Each structure stands twice: as C-alpha cells, then as structure tokens.
Amino acid sequence: MEDGSVVLKFPIRNDVRNAKNGTRSLTKAEDVVFTTPNAGGGHFPFMPVGFPSGLCRIMFVKLSRDPYTAPYYMGTDAEQDVEEWSLDPDGSYGNPTGRKVRDGGYGGHASSSSTTLGCLKFLLTENVVTVAEKALQILVANGYRTKEEILAGKWPSAEEIAKGTFPMIEVIG
C-alpha cells in the first residue's frame, strides 16, 4: 500500500462454543466462562460471543505448545460489552442478568478445536505463522521489545502502549 502498510488476508473462523448453538452446557460448572477485561477489573460470568468487528491492535505474540492455540497466540486489544450471567448454587450458569460487563482477551490463533471462546481461528497453521512473524517484525522494528520479550506473551505497559506502533487486525463481520 502507498502508506507502507501491509495487508494480509487469510480465511478465519469464529465458531464460538456457547449455549446458543448448543455447544456449551448450562448445567456444568466447569463450562462457565468469565470475562477477561484488558484493563483489569472484575471477572464476571458470561456466555462467549464472537470476536468484535472493527480494527484492533496485536499487543503481543506468544509461542504456544498448547494444541488449542499452537504455534502462536496473538493477543489483541479487542474488547466488547457482553451480558453478565448469574450462577446457580452449584456454580453452573443461571440466567442472563441484563447487565453489561466488559470483556477482552480476544486473540488470533490456529487450533485443534473446531470452536473457540470468541478468538479468531486461522484455518491454516501456516497463515497464523505468517501473521505472527509479520507482527513480531513490526513490534521489534518499532522498539516495542526484543523478540524474546514479545514471545513471552506479556501485555505491554502503559508507557509501551503510548510510545509504540502496533500491528492492526481488521475484522469485518
């Protein structure tokens, strides 16, 4: 592109494991998912939803050996409001409360699973490798951190965010 940016397009899926599509149990406490807001704050029970549409930044790239996210997990600053759920006495899902809470923790990765908790699933492992390596080049070139520090998967500090230029992902939903 004329501005020097690079556009990479790859097929992804956003098949979320939730009760709406019958892939998440409402009666098993171990199936309850809690919010992971990017800016910290409370962790509230919610039903997973798809990756938010729009632009977001890749904040870190982490090496992963977990078949669910290997070989790389790319953490983003994508966030959205989701509906909080109550919990039954046994710790399983109760009902939607009608209250909106903030959720983050959305990323991109390949996966051995057919579903995610809302992350973007790259259909081909080589595509996630291409994007992760390009993101690493950008993060290192912009003085964000060393490659080794980035691959540790640590969320950047406020100072690093303020001075850094981060690779972008655009999700068109």
Domain membership of residue 131 (yes or no) is yes
Domain membership of residue 3 (yes or no) is no
Domain membership of residue 1 (yes or no) is no
Question: How does DSSP assign 66-85, residue by residue?
Answer: STTT-SEEEEE---EEEEEE
Domain membership of residue 2 (yes or no) is no
**Predicted pLDDT of residue 173:** 56
Domain count, the chain: 1
Angle at 159 between CA 171 and CA 137, to 5 degrees: 50
Q: Which residue segment(s) compose the domain that 21 sits in?
A: 12-171
Q: Give the separation between CA 103 and CA 41, rounded to whole angstroms.
A: 10
Report residue 172's pLDDT band, with 50, 70 and 90 as the boundaries. Answer: low
- For 67-125, the pLDDT digits (tens) are 889 999 999 999 999 999 999 999 999 999 999 999 998 999 999 899 999 999 999 99
Domain membership of residue 84 (yes or no) is yes
- For 127-145, the pLDDT digits (tens) are 999 999 988 888 888 776 7
Indicate if the pLDDT at residue 1 is higher than 50. no
Answer yes or no: are the C-beta atoms of 72 and 129 closer than 8 Å: yes
| pTM of structure | 0.85
